[in-house]
């Protein structure tokens, strides 16, 4: 091959990339210019304090590094329609930010594209006639719980106050889940803007019942929800201490805790019981300081020993168990809103076998030890998903996750990186990928998209994966969302 042709061939990838970047820039600019004319400068911004605050508000520092071409701050569903129609017509990249708490890089922000930021749509209300909770997409769970507490009701929502409504679209794990199902199982009606800008209302019984099901676990792939109507759970006000429990903290006894967690997952199926087990290492100089946190509650006057006895028998360094209102339960983990650090999630799922939990703990400990110089904290957390939760969801029509019955644990693998680390180092990424292989999900179990790594094949783990793909093809036949927005793969 002549040298001149070899040079041209070598340049093709670079030229194509440059052309692609130029096309991306032009498409975003076209959309933003159109939106500025249609919605005005107060709702569409390319710079200034509101623009900068929106960028900096991303919980994961990696997402705070993105610079959208413009940010749209809608106050009504019609504004979202206009924004999405302009994005679609211009073939621009885009992203949606509700709670801004995502640890997945790029899933709630965009470079060279349009960001739709719901910070001005944060209302939460109760409709006593329909016994429904109405949420706008920008509300955070702490705000929702506080607004609804005087009415004695609560949503099946997140366990950390800073998390937003994106949790619902991923299925959602809640303190109320053992009795009420995944958070998304409690959808009654959703207002949705599709990728082409058309607006529809979806329910379990109307013409969009298939989309309604897909939105119960489909994440950001199926449209933008601008109004959630959820079933209200009558939990009482902050004066109604109908729950019992709290936090126990341990600095040792890891094996006993893992064995107790496995047995709980395997044997407990009481819809009034809920627990979260978080094995945490805090990096202090050259040391990994263990802080093992168990949060346990029972919707009753005490903690039954036949359910929680294994945990209660392990010596703890501190415990604050006592009567609680559901308002107290919902706030037990606080806001979790510390910003300015790279955050990373990974997911697995395990059946209740002691050897699996011990192996997971040991592999995670080895990983944490090997890469500790990079972290502030590293966490291995277990959320039991009892059969009662699966059956409660099926009784409400089912969801697209379609987890098998019998009970299992959702496993979260989480790291917060040290200040000054803005990108996950390549060697740490290798270690993370190795750890995922060392803690594989038990056969047939779904991963939880709200706590996954961006590269994990979450949708493929769903029981209704083939149905999910068919529904996606129906509502986005051009695959616009997949081509122009980051999110879970597999569609």
pLDDT tens across 416-457, in order?
Answer: 999 999 999 999 999 999 999 999 999 999 999 999 999 999
Which CATH code is given to the segment(s) 124-236+465-483? 3.30.465.10
Where in the chain do CATH 3.30.465.10 domains reside?
124-236+465-483
Going residue by residue through the chain, which has 491 residues, state the pLDDT in tens, using 9 for 90 and above: 555 444 434 444 443 444 467 799 999 999 999 999 999 999 999 999 999 999 999 999 999 999 999 999 999 999 999 999 999 999 999 999 999 999 999 999 999 999 999 999 999 999 999 999 999 999 999 999 999 999 999 999 999 999 999 999 999 999 999 999 999 999 999 999 999 999 999 999 999 999 999 999 999 999 999 999 999 999 999 999 999 999 999 999 999 999 999 999 999 999 999 999 999 999 999 999 999 999 999 999 999 999 999 999 999 999 999 999 999 999 999 999 999 999 999 999 999 999 999 999 999 999 999 999 999 999 999 999 999 999 999 999 999 999 999 999 999 999 999 999 999 999 999 999 999 999 999 999 999 999 999 999 999 999 999 999 999 999 999 999 999 999 999 99
Contact (CB, 8 A) for 248 and 294: yes
pLDDT digits (tens, 9 = 90+) for 102-113: 999 999 999 999
- Cα 121 versus chain centre, distance: 19
* Closest to 281 measured CA to CA, from 193, 370, 200: 370
- Dihedral of CA atoms 31, 32, 34, 37 in degrees, nearest 10, equals 170
Please identify which residue in the block is written with the tokens 């039991």: 384
3-state helix vs strand vs coil in the chain, percent to 5 = 40, 25, 40
User: CATH assignment of 3-117, given 1.10.10.350, 3.30.43.10, 3.40.50.720, 3.90.740.10?
Assistant: 3.30.43.10
CA separation for the pair 247, 322 (Å, rounded): 10
Strand order in the sheet with 93-97: 44-45, 70-72, 113-117, 93-97
Beta bridge partners of 381: 278, 412
Beta bridge partners of 350: 409
Please identify which residue in the block is written with the tokens 């011990």: 358
The three-state secondary structure class of 452 is coil
- Buried-exposed string 293-314: b where 16+ CB fall within 10 A, e elsewhere: bbbbbbbeeebeeebbebbbeb
* Closest to 44 measured CA to CA, from 136, 123, 117: 117
Taken in order 441, 445, 446, 448, the sign of the CA dihedral is: negative
Beta-carbon count within 10 A of 286 CB:
7
- Cα 123 versus chain centre, distance: 20
Contact (CB, 8 A) for 93 and 110: yes
* Closest to 98 measured CA to CA, from 220, 184, 211, 222: 220
Domain 243-461: state its class: alpha beta
Pair of tokens at residue 298: 């029972």
Q: How far is CA 303 from CA 275, 279, 322, 383, 474, in A?
A: 11, 22, 9, 18, 48
Beta-carbon count within 10 A of 449 CB:
29
CA separation for the pair 57, 50 (Å, rounded): 10
Q: How far is CA 102 from CA 95, 187, 198, 263, 310, in A?
A: 12, 21, 26, 31, 34
CA separation for the pair 61, 336 (Å, rounded): 14
- Cα 184 versus chain centre, distance: 12
Contact (CB, 8 A) for 175 and 243: no
Write the CB contacts of 190 (distance below 8 Å, at least 6 apart in sequence). 201, 202, 203, 212, 215, 225, 227, 228, 229
Where in the chain do CATH 3.30.43.10 domains reside?
3-117
* Closest to 188 measured CA to CA, from 224, 134, 141: 134
pTM flag (> 0.85): yes
Phi, psi of 285 (to 5 degrees): 65, -120
CA separation for the pair 147, 150 (Å, rounded): 7
Helix (H) or strand (E) holding 360: helix 354-370
Where in the chain do CATH 3.40.462.20 domains reside?
243-461
Beta-carbon count within 10 A of 359 CB:
15
CA separation for the pair 181, 388 (Å, rounded): 8
Contact (CB, 8 A) for 249 and 307: no
């Amino acid at each position: 091959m002549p040298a001149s042709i070899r040079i041209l061939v070598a340049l093709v990838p670079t030229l194509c990339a440059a052309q692609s970047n130029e096309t991306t820039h032009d498409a975003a600019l076209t959309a933003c210019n159109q939106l500025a004319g249609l919605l005005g400068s107060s709702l569409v911004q390319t710079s200034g304090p509101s623009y900068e605050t929106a960028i900096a508000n991303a919980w994961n520092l990696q997402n705070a590094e993105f610079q959208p071409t413009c940010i749209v701050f809608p106050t009504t569903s019609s504004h979202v329609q206009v924004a999405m129609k302009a994005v679609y017509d211009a073939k621009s990249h885009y992203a949606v930010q509700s709670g801004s708490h995502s640890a997945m890089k790029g899933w709630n922000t965009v470079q060279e594209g349009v960001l739709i930021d719901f910070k001005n749509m944060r209302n939460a209300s109760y409709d006593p006639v329909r016994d429904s909770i109405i949420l706008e997409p920008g509300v955070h769970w702490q705000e929702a719980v506080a607004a609804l507490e005087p009415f004695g009701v609560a949503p099946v929502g997140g366990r950390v106050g800073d998390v937003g409504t994106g949790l619902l679209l991923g299925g959602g794990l809640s303190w109320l889940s053992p009795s009420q199902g995944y958070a998304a199982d409690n959808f009654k009606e959703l207002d949705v803007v599709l990728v082409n800008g058309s607006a529809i209302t979806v329910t379990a019984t109307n013409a969009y019942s298939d989309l309604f099901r897909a939105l119960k676990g489909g994440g950001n792939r199926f449209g933008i929800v601008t109004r959630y109507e959820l079933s209200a759970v009558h939990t009482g006000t902050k004066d109604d201490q109908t729950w019992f429990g709290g936090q126990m903290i341990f600095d040792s006894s890891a094996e006993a805790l893992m064995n107790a967690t496995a047995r709980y997952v395997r044997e407990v199926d009481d819809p009034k019981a809920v627990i979260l087990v978080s094995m945490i290492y805090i990096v202090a100089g050259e040391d990994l300081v263990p802080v093992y946190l168990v949060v346990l509650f029972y919707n009753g006057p005490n903690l039954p020993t036949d359910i929680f006895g294994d945990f209660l028998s392990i010596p703890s360094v501190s415990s604050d168990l006592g009567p609680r209102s559901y308002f107290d339960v919902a706030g037990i983990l606080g806001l979790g809103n510390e910003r300015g650090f790279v955050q990373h999630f990974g997911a697995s799922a395990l059946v209740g076998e002691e050897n699996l939990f011990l192996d997971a703990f040991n592999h995670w400990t080895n990983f944490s030890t090997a890469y500790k110089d990079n972290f502030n904290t590293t966490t291995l957390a277990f959320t039991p998903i009892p059969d009662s939760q699966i059956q409660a969801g099926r009784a409400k029509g089912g969801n697209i996750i379609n987890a098998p019955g019998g009970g299992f644990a959702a496993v979260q693998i989480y790291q917060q990186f040290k200040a000054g680390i803005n990108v996950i180092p390549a060697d740490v990424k290798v270690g993370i990928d190795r750890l995922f292989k060392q803690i594989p999900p038990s056969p047939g179990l779904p991963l939880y998209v709200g706590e996954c790594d961006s590269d994990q094949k979450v949708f493929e783990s769903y029981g209704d994966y083939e149905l999910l793909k068919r529904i996606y093809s129906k509502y986005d036949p051009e695959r616009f969302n997949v081509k122009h927005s980051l999110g879970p793969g597999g569609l």
